[in-house]
Structure formats: structure tokens, C-alpha cells
Chain A
Amino acid sequence: GDSVTQTEGLVTLTEGLPVMLNCTYQTIYSNPFLFWYVQHLNESPRLLLKSFTDNKRTEHQGFHATLHKSSSSFHLQKSSAQLSDSALYYCALSDNTGGLSGKLTFGEGTQVTVIS
């Protein structure tokens, strides 16, 4: 079946420094959708970024990610971390094909804490 790997479970970094969260995936589908969801404390997860286009950078709220099918990766980056970026980040994969709703497979999540 599909799988998503997030190698960092916990990340602590200083405000103003760059952020990079790793995400790699395995799937039999040639056109997967990849997502990053963010969950702040006591809130539900919400979409941060999504992509299905190979080698195209997608950006939102200062974060960016590029889907690289050659390496099965969708790493999340931000040039300068803010205190408000402290949250749980999930990478997810959809096996959506043919216009039907696909179920998502989530990674285990990366807990990010930004300190001043």
C-alpha cells in the first residue's frame, strides 16, 4: 500500500532561521496528489499546501514545496521561521485517480517548536 515517511519527529529551531521538513512517499500510482497539513495546538488539521505537478514549486503563507516524482519527495520549506509556525505538520498522499475522491495516507507528523 501507499506510505509516507517524515523523518523528523520533533524539530526545535530559533526564530528567523530556515525551516525544512522532509517528506518522502511510496505509491504505485503515477499521478499522486501530495499535501502538507498543519495543526496548531487545540485545533484541527488544515491544508497548507498541495501539488500534483512534477517539479513545480507551490507556495502558501511563506511556505513552499516542490513535488519531485524522480525522488518521491515533497519537502516543506520556509526561509525564516516565526513563533506562530510552532505546530504539528503532516505530509499526506492521495491516490486520487479518475476524478474520484481518494483516501489520504498521512505521515507520522513533525512537531515544530520555534523559540525566540
Chain B
Amino acid sequence: GGIITQTPKFLIGQEGQKLTLKCQQNFNHDTMYWYRQDSGKGLRLIYYSITENDLQKGDLSEGYDASREKKSSFSLTVTSAQKNEMAVFLCASSEGNTGQLYFGEGSKLTVL
């Protein structure tokens, strides 16, 4: 089995600050994802990457940047944190054949 590790688990920042979340996977999956989870709004895709150095925008990419410098890691940057984006950010990776996702434990963002 594999594991997806997200750091940090809790991130507190100031409004307007640039904040970065990191994700590592040892499944050797090609595709990785960042989802944002807000209560009552489900999981919304921010960015995904189908291979090293590839980036694809999701439905919620505005205000975020992403980086996939290695196959095993995928980072997400909030370019200017806003109070209305306090949420849980979930990293995931997927199997090639079916798209089944494996999720990390999440990173909770709080903006003061």
C-alpha cells in the first residue's frame, strides 16, 4: 500500500499572505490533484497534474498556483489568502486505469 502525506495539517495565515501546501505520495501514481472542501459545497477541483511538470486548471484555479517538480510531489500556493477561503484542502492521487482517487488527510487553512 501507499500513503499520501500533506503538510502542514493546519495552516494559519494573514489576509493577503502567500501560503503553500505540500503533498507527497509513494503510490507512484502519475496523476495528482488538489481539491478544496467547503461545508455544503462538496469537493471542488483546484488543479491537477497528469505527469511531472504538467499542470491543468480545475474549476477553482483562480487565486491559486501549483507546482509538480517531481512525480511524487505536488504543491499548492494560495497567492493572496482571503478570509472567505478558509477550508480544508485535500490532495489526492489516482490509479491510471480507473481514476480511483486516494486522498491525503487534508490541510485546514485558517485566515486571520
Nearest-neighbor residue (CB-CB) of A96 within chain B = B99
Nearest-neighbor residue (CB-CB) of B48 within chain A = A103
Q: How many A-B residue pairs have CB under 8 A?
A: 66
Nearest-neighbor residue (CB-CB) of A10 within chain B = B40
Whether, in the assembled complex, A16 has its beta carbon less than 8 Å from a beta carbon of chain B, the answer is no
Among B48, B98, B99, the one with the most A-chain Cβ atoms within 10 Å of its Cβ is B99
Nearest-neighbor residue (CB-CB) of B43 within chain A = A106
**What number of A residues sit within 8 Å (CB to CB) of B?**
26
Complex Cα distance, B40 from A106, in Å, reads: 12
Which one, B35, B44, B99, B105, contacts A102 given CB within 8 A?
B99
Complex Cα distance, B16 from A50, in Å, reads: 41
A:18-34 near B, CB below 8 Å: 33
Whether, in the assembled complex, B55 has its beta carbon less than 8 Å from a beta carbon of chain A, the answer is no
Interface window among A40-48, A61-69, A70-78, A79-87: A40-48
Whether, in the assembled complex, B72 has its beta carbon less than 8 Å from a beta carbon of chain A, the answer is no
Which one, B45, B96, B105, contacts A101 given CB within 8 A?
B96
Which one, B42, B98, B104, contacts A96 given CB within 8 A?
B98
Among A43, A46, A106, the one with the most B-chain Cβ atoms within 10 Å of its Cβ is A106
B96 to chain A, nearest CB (A): 5
Complex Cα distance, B90 from A106, in Å, reads: 13
Whether, in the assembled complex, B74 has its beta carbon less than 8 Å from a beta carbon of chain A, the answer is no
Q: Is B43 within 8 A of A47, CB to CB?
A: no
Q: List A residues at the B interface (Cβ < 8 Å).
A: 9, 33, 35, 37, 43-47, 50, 52, 90, 92, 94, 96, 99-109
User: Can you offer 17 A-B residue contacts whose CB atoms are under 8 A?
Assistant: A33-B98, A33-B99, A35-B100, A44-B90, A44-B104, A45-B90, A47-B101, A50-B98, A52-B98, A94-B99, A96-B97, A96-B99, A99-B96, A100-B96, A101-B94, A101-B99, A103-B45
